[in-house]
């Protein structure tokens, strides 16, 4: 089972599904989206539980829940036919085509190694990568000898044609790496292609991070998933983004770069500091995705922290909805207030924090508290959010100091310590003050 995190919070969908003022069609669509989301939230929690364990225990758990796939199954994740499509396309540039041909050769070589492993022909080859994404970027002995440069990632966008059966993903291929926008008239395809590229470009430029795994993993996207599907999610079992078209209240997920930044960051969190997906660590997991999603949006719009609106999913609400976005990092709890499905319930301070069993302990609800802290720190530093506050949060996530079951107070300590390490005592005071203002206070 795949693990998903969806951009639309469950309490918003629940409000639509339970509203007495809405037509049945709207409520049924919201309930269908919510049911799908609930099923896979459990799987996301299980995934982060496994990732938070020591390496040996993690391998055993992974083998139990995800048995070793066959060579053909491993190839199907990044199908050779996709790379062949790139290599053969007339409108793809020569450099990208040549790179695709080299990766086809590597996949075939790695698959051959795997077959030898199964037959016991070579014990050393038991160390071959177990993921087709890893295979595509693996350092073969041939590559090491020739000292070929590390290849970049590929993007590919598929069309689900409103099919909601996950087994049929990724769907019909429409546009691949190197092809121009003119290859299709489908705006959703081109928006997904461009925005995924901008998010990964941001990570590379600002933090030196290559794709989602720092190894140039290829990123596939599928648009037009399901009928009236009001959400977007990252599916790690297929290493791909999936976008619905929306319905009565929510739409245009591919056009919201912060949505794509949010979802791809969940994948990156798995490769940096996996945070258990429940209670405060789960809220921090959501918070980190909002932080990097909002920074990507601000980069694209060339806005300083003071100029930005700090709205997540600003373009996802249809015009007649009384609201401005899915969430506000500047003023949690003010993103929407529509009489048909309710008011944004996010608290902005620990005074509003109450234990709950819903939404895995309120992972979407309470992310607003650390979100406000990041906003306050960014404003205090001035300039662009990624220049100091963003660098602090990134260093914290890659420092090895964020435990899987990290509390808000622990995270505040790590970010404060990193701030001092990077920028000095005054920077540490700014970060500590931001956390104090939202009620996340260290107990002496």
The Cα 190–Cα 184 span in angstroms is 8
The Cα 73–Cα 69 span in angstroms is 6
Mean pLDDT of 18-30: 67
Lowest-confidence segment of 4-13, 48-57, 357-366 by average pLDDT: 48-57
The Cα 321–Cα 319 span in angstroms is 6
Q: Looking at residue 82, what is its pLDDT?
A: 59
Is residue 63 predicted with pLDDT exceeding 50?
Answer: no
Q: Which residues pair with 343 in a beta bridge?
A: 337
Is residue 86 predicted with pLDDT exceeding 50?
Answer: yes
Q: Looking at residue 317, what is its pLDDT?
A: 80
Task: Compare 395 and 79 and report the one with higher pLDDT.
Answer: 395
Report percent pLDDT > 90 for the chain: 48
Q: Which residue has the tokens 């963003």?
A: 390
CB 299 within 8 A of CB 314: no
257-285 tens-digit pLDDT: 999 999 999 999 999 999 999 999 999 99
Provide the 3-class DSSP secondary structure of residue 425: helix
Q: Looking at residue 11, what is its pLDDT?
A: 65
Question: Which of 418, 407, 336 lies closest to 377 in space, CA to CA?
Answer: 418
What is the pTM for the complete model shown?
A: 0.75
Domains detected in the chain? 5-53+154-437 (1.10.390.10), 79-146 (no CATH)
Lowest-confidence segment of 43-57, 352-366, 403-417 by average pLDDT: 43-57
pLDDT confidence bin for 101, thresholds 50/70/90: confident
Provide the 3-class DSSP secondary structure of residue 155: strand
pLDDT confidence bin for 191, thresholds 50/70/90: very high
Task: Compare 88 and 350 and report the one with higher pLDDT.
Answer: 350
The Cα 347–Cα 369 span in angstroms is 6
Mean pLDDT of 313-340: 87
Lowest-confidence segment of 87-96, 165-174, 286-295 by average pLDDT: 87-96
Task: Compare 255 and 319 and report the one with higher pLDDT.
Answer: 255
Each residue of 356-372: b (16+ CB within 10 Å) or e? eeebbbbbbbbbbbbbb
Q: Which residues pair with 235 in a beta bridge?
A: 240
DSSP labels for 314-338?
TTSB-TTSSBS-SEESSSTT-SBEE
* Summary mean pLDDT of the chain: 79
pLDDT confidence bin for 25, thresholds 50/70/90: low
Q: Which residues contact 381 (CB under 8 A, 6 or more apart)?
A: 305, 387, 388, 389, 427, 430
Strand order in the sheet with 155-159: 5-6, 232-235, 240-243, 219-223, 155-159, 172-176
Q: Looking at residue 206, what is its pLDDT?
A: 97
Q: Looking at residue 218, what is its pLDDT?
A: 86
Provide the 3-class DSSP secondary structure of residue 158: strand
Catalytic residues: 263, 364
The Cα 230–Cα 245 span in angstroms is 7
Provide the 3-class DSSP secondary structure of residue 156: strand
Q: CB atoms < 10 A from the CB of 250, how many?
A: 28
Q: Looking at residue 29, what is its pLDDT?
A: 61
pLDDT confidence bin for 133, thresholds 50/70/90: very low
The Cα 226–Cα 235 span in angstroms is 15
Identify the DSSP state of 251: B
CB 155 within 8 A of CB 218: yes
Structure tokens belonging to residue 183: 């290859």
The Cα 7–Cα 304 span in angstroms is 24
Mean pLDDT of 426-440: 98
Q: Which residues pair with 317 in a beta bridge?
A: 250
Task: Compare 166 and 285 and report the one with higher pLDDT.
Answer: 285
Quick check: bond before 170 cis, omega within 30?
A: yes
Structure tokens belonging to residue 411: 């995270």
Structure tokens belonging to residue 359: 């939404």
């Amino acid at each position: 089972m795949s693990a998903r995190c969806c951009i639309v919070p469950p309490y918003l969908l629940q409000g639509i599904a339970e509203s007495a003022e809405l037509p049945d069609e709207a409520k049924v669509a919201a309930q269908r989206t919510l049911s799908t989301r609930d099923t896979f939230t459990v799987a996301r929690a299980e995934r982060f539980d496994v990732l938070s364990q020591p390496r040996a225990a993690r391998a055993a758990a992974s083998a139990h829940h995800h048995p070793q796939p066959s060579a053909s199954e491993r190839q199907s994740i990044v199908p050779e036919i996709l790379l062949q499509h790139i290599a053969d396309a007339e409108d793809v540039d020569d450099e990208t085509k040549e790179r695709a041909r080299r990766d086809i050769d590597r996949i075939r070589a790695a698959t051959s190694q795997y077959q030898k492993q199964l037959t016991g022909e070579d014990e050393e080859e038991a160390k071959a990568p177990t993921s087709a994404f890893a295979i595509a970027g693996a350092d073969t002995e041939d590559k090491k000898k020739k000292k070929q440069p590390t290849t970049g990632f590929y993007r590919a966008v598929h069309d689900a044609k409103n099919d909601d059966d996950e087994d049929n993903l990724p769907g019909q291929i429409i546009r691949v790496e190197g092809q121009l926008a003119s290859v299709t008239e489908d705006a959703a395809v081109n928006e997904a292609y461009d925005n995924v590229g901008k998010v990964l470009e941001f990570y590379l430029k600002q933090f030196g991070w290559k794709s989602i795994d720092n190894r140039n993993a290829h990123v596939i996207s599928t648009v037009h998933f399901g009928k009236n599907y009001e959400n977007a999610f990252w599916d790690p079992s297929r290493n791909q983004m999936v976008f619905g078209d929306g319905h009565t209240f929510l739409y245009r997920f591919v056009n919201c770069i912060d949505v794509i930044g949010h979802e791809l960051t969940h994948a990156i969190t798995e490769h940096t500091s996996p945070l258990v997906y429940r209670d405060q660590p789960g809220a921090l997991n959501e918070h980190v995705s909002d932080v990097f999603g909002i920074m990507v949006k601000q980069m694209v719009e060339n806005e300083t922290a003071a100029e930005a609106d700090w709205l997540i999913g600003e373009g996802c609400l249809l015009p007649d909805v009384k609201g401005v976005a899915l969430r506000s990092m500047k003023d949690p709890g003010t993103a929407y207030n529509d009489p048909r499905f309710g008011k944004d319930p996010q608290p902005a301070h620990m005074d509003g924090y109450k234990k709950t069993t819903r939404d895995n302990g309120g992972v979407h609800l309470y992310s607003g508290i650390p979100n406000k802290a990041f906003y306050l720190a960014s404003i205090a530093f001035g300039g662009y959010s990624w220049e100091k506050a963003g660098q602090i949060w990134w260093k914290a996530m890659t420092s090895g100091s964020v435990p899987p079951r990290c509390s808000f107070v622990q995270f505040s300590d790590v970010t404060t310590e990193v701030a001092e390490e990077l920028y000095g005592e005054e920077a540490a005071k700014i970060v500590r003050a931001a956390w104090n203002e939202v009620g996340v206070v260290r107990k002496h």
